[in-house]
Amino acid sequence: MTHAAVRIAAACLSAALLSGPVAAMAAPMARPAPAGDAGSRVPGYPDVVAEYIQVPGGKAPGTPTALNTASFLRLRASADGDRPRPANAVIVGLPGFSSTPPHWLFLSSQMVSGAAKQSCDGQPCRLEVWVLQRRGANLAETEALTEARRKGDPQIALNHYLGANAIGPDGKVGPATAAAAWKPLTQADLAFMADWGFEAYAADVDAMIGRIRERSGARNIFLAGHSQGGGFVSNYAARRGPGGKRGVEGLAGLIFLDGGPSAGVQPQPTAAELDAYLARVNALRSGKDRVYTDANGLLGAIAGPASAASQSVTGVYYALSDPNAEAIFPLRVAGMAPAPGDDFLKTTRMTWLARAGASFDTDPVPGGGVQMQILQFLGQGLGRLDFTPMPGTSDRCDRTPPAAAAGPLRAMGPPPKCVPSGAMVDPSRVHGWIEPGPEGPKEAGRAGLWLSAQAFAPTRSNIRPVTVKFAQSGRRVIDASDMIGSNWYPSERWDFDAGFVGRYRTLKIDRDGVKLDVDKAAIAAVPVYVARQGFTQGVTGNPFPGVKDYTEVNKTGTWQTPEAKAISPLDPAINVAIYFHTDFVGADDSRAGQARPGEPGASAISGTLVDWVLKRAKGLSDTPTPAALGVRARY
């Protein structure tokens, strides 16, 4: 797979501004988010502290020094306070297409917490997870998000990014208006993003790993990727870095979560393919092609800075609003092509929890086909909307013809026979959400976790505001310290490079300012863990001939090579049969220890991966103290 999680914009407004039937909605209370250390404890995991970190990253040509940064979410045991104990293992995680660290929040916390319950040399084990942020999110201007959290007033964020008049006469939030103080940066401002490709991101990972000091004889850093990030894992492991070594030489293992593993499908590019690649790079550099995705591409109107800023406002409302209060931001955003379910979603009133679930569940009205096709492909199983048609309306289906699936969506299957319409909806009812469980759907995730992940922003960070002079917008203060659940400025070069570099087993380029040396044959004798929806038959599924320690969890069960079984044998019945694409990094684990991994409430990934990592980690690493990184409470 080459895509990962995306979500639709959402916001909620004060009832004082509303009229008509929505006026009964409870107004968000002025309830400041937890501050200091308390505000950096992960919801549901008080034994895990999260910090949002920025360090100098790779030096991409033309990029202002202040923006050549690698940002990441660091999750570690809160019991260590400000002096983290030496780590038995560190996992560096790479999110997938258009996704960000919040998508990894709960998987990472499950692993940090689970490791601490195991013993390593007579002490609780220490596992840290560092999840890379997209460079485009480092351009987000988040100061109003922080102010809204600090004061407990989400409307501060709404007014700043969308405008105080962004609510229409129907009581629903529309697109940003001229009254909004924030304006997106332009393609001309960000021309330097033409060089935010694979090598820039690989150098950012180099910078992150460089902060981890392995003691003599230690080998305990693992590289993990979800979706498109899984492709990066193969590419980075095979890349020759500035010091002359391949990435795999500094790693204890590779982890692929519904993305990869891949050793390339072609030996090397043809001359024509190489010319076409460099022509596209030069088109980006010249300004002929746009350098960041803006309401175009696979995601359409839900991509780009305007949509991402609105999504970030959503996170603040998620954090400060009662999840059972009514949410009124439309699920279909302006500019999207007509699709089945439009009428139903415009008519249906939902709670905030239902709004969160319906925004990212693959099928929120089972069999109804109301979800966007891209999210049918990339989403999670989060439950279902508490909806039944009003009596006598079950045959009043939406007649909107389904859009033809294309590209990776082509295999979505036949369209539903009856898409619900607004005529089926009781206009006086606010619909809730039915979470998976004994009485609900048999699925891996929960809408409550999705809502919490999008709401969370650590109060501990070392990120400071920087002033940058842009070519068109002039001087702007960039304060990206409020961690966001969306990538404001997705790099076209990165997405283009991800597909190109991943296609070949061997790739050598030193031309037109592009220098790459990738050889996937170098991936040998390193442990590999794979969890994916697809499945393989026996050892033939291992694309790396030199790798003998290979473990795979798929929809049919778990299989391991003899070498892998000898180190950490897994129950072959463990499977991911109920998993959708983003469940691999967002599954519920509330019944860990009570159910077999892969069953509802027991994450197949954290339930198997913690032991897999600890059994393959050697020695200890010293990770930096918060003081050494300049971490402090933002409020």
**496 is a domain residue:** yes
In terms of pLDDT, which residue wins out, 43 or 296? Answer: 43
Single out the residue of 595, 580, 610 nearest to residue 445, CA to CA.
Answer: 580
Token look-up 């086909």 returns 369
Burial 236-271 (b: 16+ CB within 10 A, else e): bbbbbbeeeebbbebbbbbbbbbbbbbbbeeeebee
| pLDDT at position 141 over 50 | yes
338 DSSP assignment:
P
Sign of the C-alpha dihedral computed for residues 26, 157, 341 and 485 taken in this order: negative
Domain of 111, in residue numbers: 38-139+196-271+491-633
Model pLDDT for residues 34-65, shown as the tens digit of each residue: 898 999 999 999 999 999 999 999 999 999 99
Return the percentage of the chain with pLDDT > 90, whole number.
80
| pLDDT at position 28 over 60 | no
Q: How confident is the model at residue 404 (pLDDT cuts 50, 70, 90)?
A: low
d(CA 65, CA 67): 5
Q: Are 444 and 600 within 8 A, CB to CB?
A: yes
The predicted structure's pLDDT at residue 484: 95
- Report the alpha-carbon angle 222-59-623, nearest 5: 35
For the chain, the first-to-last Cα distance in angstroms comes to 39
Lowest mean pLDDT among 45-54, 315-324, 340-349, 608-617: 340-349
d(CA 449, CA 264): 35
Q: How confident is the model at residue 173 (pLDDT cuts 50, 70, 90)?
A: confident
The predicted structure's pLDDT at residue 405: 53
Lowest mean pLDDT among 1-5, 319-323, 371-375: 1-5
Q: Are strands 632-633 and 460-461 parallel, antiparallel or unpaired?
A: antiparallel
d(CA 612, CA 253): 10
Q: Are strands 69-77 and 89-94 parallel, antiparallel or unpaired?
A: unpaired
d(CA 134, CA 293): 13
Q: How confident is the model at residue 439 (pLDDT cuts 50, 70, 90)?
A: confident
**250 is a domain residue:** yes
Q: How confident is the model at residue 30 (pLDDT cuts 50, 70, 90)?
A: low
d(CA 114, CA 546): 31
| pLDDT at position 8 over 70 | no
Token look-up 């022509």 returns 279
Q: How confident is the model at residue 27 (pLDDT cuts 50, 70, 90)?
A: very low
Return the percentage of the chain with pLDDT > 70, whole number.
91
| Residue type at position 517 | D
Model pLDDT for residues 467-497, shown as the tens digit of each residue: 999 999 999 999 999 999 999 999 999 999 9
Residue 220 has a CB neighbour count (10 Å cut-off) of: 25
**442 is a domain residue:** no
Model pLDDT for residues 91-103, shown as the tens digit of each residue: 999 999 889 999 9
The predicted structure's pLDDT at residue 634: 95
**174 is a domain residue:** no
* Average pLDDT over every residue of 252-270: 95
The predicted structure's pLDDT at residue 337: 73
The predicted structure's pLDDT at residue 536: 60
| pLDDT at position 399 over 90 | no
| pLDDT at position 1 over 50 | no
| pLDDT at position 290 over 90 | yes
* Average pLDDT over every residue of 383-407: 83
Model pLDDT for residues 196-251, shown as the tens digit of each residue: 999 999 999 999 999 999 999 999 999 999 999 999 999 999 999 999 999 999 99
**383 is a domain residue:** no
Q: Are 90 and 621 within 8 A, CB to CB?
A: yes
d(CA 331, CA 334): 10
| pLDDT at position 171 over 80 | no
Number of domain units in the chain: 1
| pLDDT at position 534 over 90 | no
The predicted structure's pLDDT at residue 493: 97
* Average pLDDT over every residue of 288-314: 86
Q: How confident is the model at residue 412 (pLDDT cuts 50, 70, 90)?
A: low
Query: Radius of gyration (Cα) for the chain, nearest Å?
Result: 24
**333 is a domain residue:** no
Peptide linkage before 64 cis (omega within 30 of 0)? no
3-state secondary structure 158-212: HHHHCCCCCECCCCCECCCCCCCCCCCCCCCCCHHHHHCCHHHHHHHHHHHHCCC
Single out the residue of 227, 567, 484 nearest to residue 377, CA to CA.
Answer: 227
Peptide linkage before 56 cis (omega within 30 of 0)? no
Q: What is the DSSP string of 287-308?
A: TSS-SB--S-GGGGGG-SHHHH
| pLDDT at position 620 over 90 | yes
**In Å, how far are 68, 91, 621 from 54, measured between CA atoms?**
10, 17, 20
**7 is a domain residue:** no
The predicted structure's pLDDT at residue 396: 94
Q: Are 7 and 447 within 8 A, CB to CB?
A: no
| pLDDT at position 74 over 80 | yes
3-state secondary structure 325-337: CEECCCCCCCCCC
Q: Collapse the DSSP code of 130 into the 3-class scheme (helix H, G, I; strand E, B; otherwise coil) and give the result.
A: strand
Region label for 304, one of left (φ > 0), alpha (ψ between -120 and 50) or beta (otherwise): left
Q: Where are the alpha helices (DSSP H) in 221-262?
A: 228-238
d(CA 235, CA 388): 48
d(CA 4, CA 374): 10
Model pLDDT for residues 185-199, shown as the tens digit of each residue: 999 999 999 999 999
Single out the residue of 186, 185, 162 nearest to residue 175, CA to CA.
Answer: 162
The predicted structure's pLDDT at residue 312: 95
Instruction: Give residue 265's Cα distance to chain centre.
Output: 26
d(CA 573, CA 585): 20
Tell the burial category of 559 from Cβ atoms under 10 Å away from its Cβ (0-12, 13-18, 19+): buried
Q: Collapse the DSSP code of 25 into the 3-class scheme (helix H, G, I; strand E, B; otherwise coil) and give the result.
A: coil
d(CA 576, CA 280): 39
Q: Are 369 and 340 within 8 A, CB to CB?
A: yes
Length of the chain: 635
Q: Are 158 and 166 within 8 A, CB to CB?
A: yes
530 DSSP assignment:
E
**233 is a domain residue:** yes
Single out the residue of 218, 217, 190, 268 nearest to residue 478, CA to CA.
Answer: 190
| pLDDT at position 154 over 80 | yes
d(CA 182, CA 147): 14
Quote the tokens at residue 416. Answer: 């539903």
> What CATH number is attached to the domain comprising 223?
3.40.50
Quote the tokens at residue 125. Answer: 């084990």
The predicted structure's pLDDT at residue 295: 74
The predicted structure's pLDDT at residue 383: 96
Sign of the C-alpha dihedral computed for residues 447, 488, 10 and 482 taken in this order: positive
